[in-house]
Structure 1
């Protein structure tokens, strides 16, 4: 069963100029259904947070949006154009932090410029292109190390460069695949705050996969919770309920708020339980 909790943002979707629309999307690997009849829209300028257990299909969803994977059924459209292949200029992609050798002889400036030149480093740039790159560095707060070696930068600093690189193509939507996973709590907060600032400044849409409901809920307009081929869509308080999560996990589930944290407990039997702890954003 699908739970789709409509919010005011959802009701306004059709009035927006550019939306992301998934209609009855189904995809499976072997005999396992990853997404079943996935149907929702993301409004222009909205920040949609995606959470769920490992294997729930969070990255698979991004791959379909990027045109790297075709759904078995259904359709995906971005700004009215159906996704039929990879390489859409409408999208910018920010991956998880990658391991980079400290001895990598590549300046931050050159790394970011790859986003302008489709992955290639040119020995020359026009004045307009240089101005564009400088503006992106300013926007993501990375001006201080634009000429430093990328191998010597911290994880948080590198994530700012990934974001800058993705923004150079002037996308309508940013897709972020757990970009804070390898960062310390302080850096995680600063990166999500930066993403929210950028989307408000540029008016772009953001789809942000996160493992931390507390972190993403402070900035997301809505939460998409994926599990067992099903989904729930709404605000944090609409989605993080025992009724909704019991449907997703297909077993009795408790949602407990205790000492500033959301604790989700699923039990297949009296003798076995799985517990997931989500810090409660109300404490911040």
Structure 2
């Protein structure tokens, strides 16, 4: 190869070029680097896209059948059609399930894929050599997960609307609430995952002792007042409870004081911002070694 011929070294993801006369220049990486990372993650999604699509459609259908036809019929039979807070059980539980869907996506994308990018298939190291900064890598991952959450939440909302669980006119506002809820949980989880150098079952412990209790004890399937007082603290520190409360307000007008809505939103935003900043700091420290 002559010295006049263009040389290209392809980076780890689509749009991430290391040194390419025909590819993105450094100024392009500085401007669009986060989107290159998001594009790479979206292309990686093709490897398990069938599972993602099947889950996105199948999970809400199964939950609506289980709660709308099964459990809701039992609750209605005992407590009437306006069983909980003046609405049907299905209407009560649908916003919570939507927010839980955001939590599920976060638990999938911010655990093993993060460790893989540092250790098993160190694409983050390649991206950092592209050159992309640690902040751009983290930002791109958040953009990708937000996109996936958006698609999942929209599908979930469409199916719950078909079941009559959520009014379409106002219920669509629960979609951005679900995305914020998922990211508020996912950003700190991403920071935790980025700090791990070995897999010793930490993610299994997170699922067992964080995600599952949070799902069960965050006022999702039943009002928080049904829990003993000594267990309610789980909901108070749970992003799922804060997101569900806001989602119920925008979905069917749940009676929540305005100041408390502000507190719920503030908790979610603080968790997102702090987790995001910590993830950037840990990622930068690992890539600078």
TM (normalized to structure 2)? Answer: 0.21
Structure showing the higher helix proportion among its residues: 2
Normalized against structure 1, the TM-score is what? 0.22
